[in-house]
Amino acid sequence: MIGESMYQELILEHYKHPQGRGLREPYDAEVHHVNPTCGDEITLRVRVGDAGKIEDVSYDGQGCSISQAAASVLHELTTGSTVEETLSVVDEFTRLMQGRGQVEPDEDVLGDAVAFAGVAKFPARVKCALLSWMAYKDAVVRSAAR
Amino acid sequence: MTQTSLDVERIRKDFPVLSRELPGGRPLVYLDSGNSSQKPTQVIETMREHLAMHYGNVGRAMHVLGAESTEAYESARDKIAAFVGAPSRDEVVFTKNASEALNLVAYSFGNPANADDRFRLGPGDEIVISEMEHHSNIVPWQLLAQRTGATLRWFGVTDEGRLDLSRLDDLVGERTKIISIAHQSNVLGTVNPVADVLARARQAGALVMLDASQSVPHHPVDVAALGVDFVAFTGHKMVGPSGIGVLWGRGELLDAMPPFLGGGEMIEAVWMDRSTFAPIPHKFEAGTPPIVEAIGLGAAVDYLTGIGMTAVEAHERELTAYALDALRDLPGLRLIGPDSLELRGGTLSFTLDGIHPHDVGQILDDDFGIAVRVGHHCARPLHLRFGIPATTRASFYLYNTTGEIDALVRGLHHVQKVFA
């Protein structure tokens, strides 16, 4: 059963009990990203504190379990880290997702996000996993431009 | 198993893919014919044989192969004309799909090259569509409204998934030039009451077009009996190949319309500064057409005729009744579309509480080899109307069985367990 390798327990856990969901104040940048092929969407806010530390990533949206769980994991991995640290996690996650299942993930960098490794084998679902992460990257860039 | 006049097991043997094993040893359960149908050996072999032994360009090559190709291509037109009850074979225009057929008609309106008042369109004129349309019967009319300044209006959809005719007299009036609606919805399965709309259209002097992509493959359709002006459908949903579609139009209207695409074979004579055009249907078939695809569609029509569209319709009706009963028993399932067999075809769209259709489709496919469609099925406004981003859609055809519906129901139970 190929499906079981994609729907890891950890992904289902995050989907059923999303971490940090809901839009919060204050924030430095807000973005809205949409996946036109399936209609998944996310609104995401970042709050960057002193010394480039991510104080909060808040979000709201709708979509499949993969896209919603990815947002929840993103919230956990980024909050409390520096912008620079989080961008290297985003890069590694992107590399994993675009690796067509051929990329060996760096667990030290990705933490819980390695659970998404199975998604990379399903090209149609890669965009679901990346939706919130691309939104986050966009929000960070915009917050820096302020 | 239910009894029908149609021998499903024999039919299934005609479709090679239906006995294929998917990776992991799963059998294929194909419930996505509303998206595109599978092809029988008869169609595949006819196309292969033509490509291998008879292929030449049509209408212009003065040799044996050209003559054989032209004969096969034009006889496909005869078969299709007979299949849909067209009063004349010249009223059957080959296009590449239903979308092109719809665009062809849309581009006839408001075209400065047009001299006929019925196709004049500008500010103050109105185009009427419906909220249940496929994007291919929405966007061409939006573009037409933008080009001409005409107003686009639409029928709503009731909670049950029927065309809302309560505003018919207000929507369709003397400003209306064209009404274009689905004969059968690709999401709801609803078969629309064409006669009611047509009667009002005739009072108002408006033309009527049907997007019959989901009806011609599944029901006996007689364009003359329907009484409308234009009908569009596509080959790949009716056991034929992709790349070939059909526009049927009343001959007198097609004659009056300006050409759509310019090119070879659609002309009568060409000078450097002007051209005159071939009679219909060739006026609308510029360039080398999809020759083998048209011939394949002819074979598809032969195949369906051999089985009988009345039998196909009755079989799908039994499957639909069986599926409506089975799905009704699933907790948390919300059917989007009519819950009865009345004026409805074999397309069932639904949501499952708390589970996104993409997850439903993925697990059905990965774990059970069940192919359904998930998403908005190119009918986003309809999904917005029901306040949902997407649905899961099972759509049936002549080769489906009640056993496959049982498999779907088992699969949906499993999906609910995964997300419980």
- What pLDDT score was predicted for residue B59? 85
Residues B22-40, mean pLDDT to the nearest whole number: 96
pLDDT of A3 higher than 70? no
Q: How confident is the model at residue B110 (pLDDT cuts 50, 70, 90)?
A: very high
The 10s digit of each residue's pLDDT in A10-37 is 999 999 999 999 999 999 999 999 987 7
Q: What is the pTM of this model?
A: 0.92
The 10s digit of each residue's pLDDT in B195-233 is 999 999 999 999 999 999 999 999 999 999 999 999 999
The 10s digit of each residue's pLDDT in B144-179 is 999 999 999 999 999 999 999 999 999 999 999 999
- What pLDDT score was predicted for residue A4? 53
Question: What's the one-letter identity of residue B36?
Answer: S
Whether cis (ω within 30° of 0) applies to the bond prior to B220 is no
* Domains assigned to chain B: 8-30+308-418 (3.90.1150.10), 45-305 (3.40.640.10)
Task: Please tell me the least confidently modeled range out of A103-117, B80-94, B168-182, B345-359.
Answer: A103-117
- What pLDDT score was predicted for residue B113? 86
pLDDT of B105 higher than 90? yes
Residue A127 domain boundaries: 2-141
Question: A79 in a domain, yes or no?
Answer: yes
pLDDT of B259 higher than 50? yes
pLDDT of B1 higher than 70? no
| Closest residue, chain A, to B374 (C-alpha) | A38
B114 vs B289, residue with greater confidence: B289
Question: A103 in a domain, yes or no?
Answer: yes
Q: Please say whether the beta carbons of B128 and B167 come within 8 A.
A: no
Instruction: Quote ipTM for the complex.
Output: 0.84
Q: Please say whether the beta carbons of B4 and B315 come within 8 A.
A: yes
Residues B347-364, mean pLDDT to the nearest whole number: 95
Task: Give contacts of B365 with chain A, Cβ < 8 Å.
Answer: 3
Residue B153, SS3 per DSSP: strand
| Closest residue, chain A, to B392 (C-alpha) | A38
Into how many domains does chain A fold?
1
- What pLDDT score was predicted for residue B61? 77
Give CA–CA dist B202/B167, Å, rounded. 16
Determine contact: A35 vs chain B, CB below 8 A: no
What percent of chain A clears pLDDT 70, i.e. is strictly above it? 97
Give CA–CA dist B101/B326, Å, rounded. 37
Question: A146 in a domain, yes or no?
Answer: no
Q: Write a three-state SS string for B16-85.
A: HHHHCEECCCEECEECECCCCCCCCHHHHHHHHHHHHHCCCCCCCCCCHHHHHHHHHHHHHHHHHHHHCC
Residues of B with a catalytic annotation lie at 378
Say which CATH number the domain at A59 has: 3.90.1010.10
Across the interface, do B24 and A7 touch by the CB < 8 Å criterion?
Answer: no
- What pLDDT score was predicted for residue B82? 98
- What pLDDT score was predicted for residue B294? 98
Task: Give contacts of B387 with chain A, Cβ < 8 Å.
Answer: none
> Environment class of residue B106 by beta-carbon count within 10 Å: exposed (0-12), middle (13-18) or buried (19+)?
buried
Q: How confident is the model at residue A124 (pLDDT cuts 50, 70, 90)?
A: confident
Return mean pLDDT, chain B. Answer: 96
Across the interface, do B362 and A3 touch by the CB < 8 Å criterion?
Answer: yes
Q: Please say whether the beta carbons of B279 and B251 come within 8 A.
A: no
Give CA–CA dist B328/B324, Å, rounded. 6
- What pLDDT score was predicted for residue B164? 98
Return mean pLDDT, chain A. Answer: 91
| Closest residue, chain A, to B389 (C-alpha) | A39
DSSP secondary structure string, A76-102?
HHHTTSBHHHHHHHHHHHHHHHTTTT-
Max mean pLDDT range (A132-146, B54-68, B107-121, B229-243): B229-243
Instruction: Give the count of beta carbons closer than 10 Å to the beta carbon of residue B195.
Output: 11
Residue among A4, A12, A128 minimizing CB distance to B358: A128
DSSP alpha helices (H): ranges in A17-122?
65-78, 83-97, 107-110
Determine contact: A22 vs chain B, CB below 8 A: no
Chain A nearest C-alpha distance from B56 (Å) = 39
Across the interface, do A1 and B358 touch by the CB < 8 Å criterion?
Answer: no
The 10s digit of each residue's pLDDT in A31-52 is 999 987 777 899 999 999 988 9
Give CA–CA dist B232/B210, Å, rounded. 6
Q: Please say whether the beta carbons of B398 and B12 come within 8 A.
A: no
Chain B nearest C-alpha distance from A11 (Å) = 11
Instruction: Give the count of beta carbons closer than 10 Å to the beta carbon of residue B1.
Output: 10
Q: Please say whether the beta carbons of A45 and A58 come within 8 A.
A: yes
